[in-house]
Amino acid sequence: MLKIIHMNVNGKAVELAIDDRESLLDTLRNHLGLTSVKKGCEVGECGACTVLVDGEAIDSCIYLTMWAEGKHILTVEGLQSPTGELSEIQQAFVDEAAVQCGFCTPGIIMSAVEIIGTGRKYTRDELRKLISGHLCRCTGYENILNALEKVVGY
């Protein structure tokens, strides 16, 4: 059954007709063209589809779009400044060579945005635990942790 949904995506009001069984992942990719949101495991295990919903990192593959009614959704596409400059965490990933194939990167960056939003500083071990829901098959996590430490580490 189709349902009209209203939400704010990357700072823009959006109104869409969606199937009430559709995941937020599919809506963001297929209806809005936000391809930073990756389709990985489709069961909430890999973190590739992580986005922020009202500031909280969620796995969009297991989050129904209809639950996003009236909410603010943020994806990596919404992090750049109006002039195209990278956010602090995106730049840290570049500086620390924390990107290889890039498949997991957007999801990890979105979790990092939530972490940064706490205003806390974290130890490397704390950061390791905070990103433990993300699978990366390329980097071995060390450069990712270096990037996170650069922004929110002691």
pLDDT at 154 exceeding the cut of 90? no
Q: CA 104, CA 113: separation in Å to the nearest integer?
A: 15
- Tokens 């905070």 correspond to 130
Q: CA 92, CA 109: separation in Å to the nearest integer?
A: 10
Q: What is the pLDDT of residues 56-73, one digit of tens each?
A: 999 999 999 999 999 999
pLDDT bin (cut points 50, 70, 90) of residue 138 is confident
Q: CA 74, CA 77: separation in Å to the nearest integer?
A: 8
Q: CA 110, CA 49: separation in Å to the nearest integer?
A: 9
Give the percent of the chain with pLDDT over 70.
100
Q: Residue 138: CB partners within 8 Å, gap ≥ 6?
A: 100, 101, 104
| Integer angstrom CA distances of residue 18 from 31, 67, 125 | 9, 12, 41
- 143, two tokens: 């450069």
Domains and CATH numbers, the chain: 2-75 (3.10.20.30), 88-152 (1.10.150.120)
Q: What is the mean pLDDT of residues 76-87?
A: 95
- 148, two tokens: 């996170």
Q: At what angle do helices 142-152 and 88-95 cross, to 10 degrees?
A: 140
| Integer angstrom CA distances of residue 48 from 7, 67, 99 | 22, 20, 13
pTM of the model: 0.95
pLDDT reported for residue 137: 87
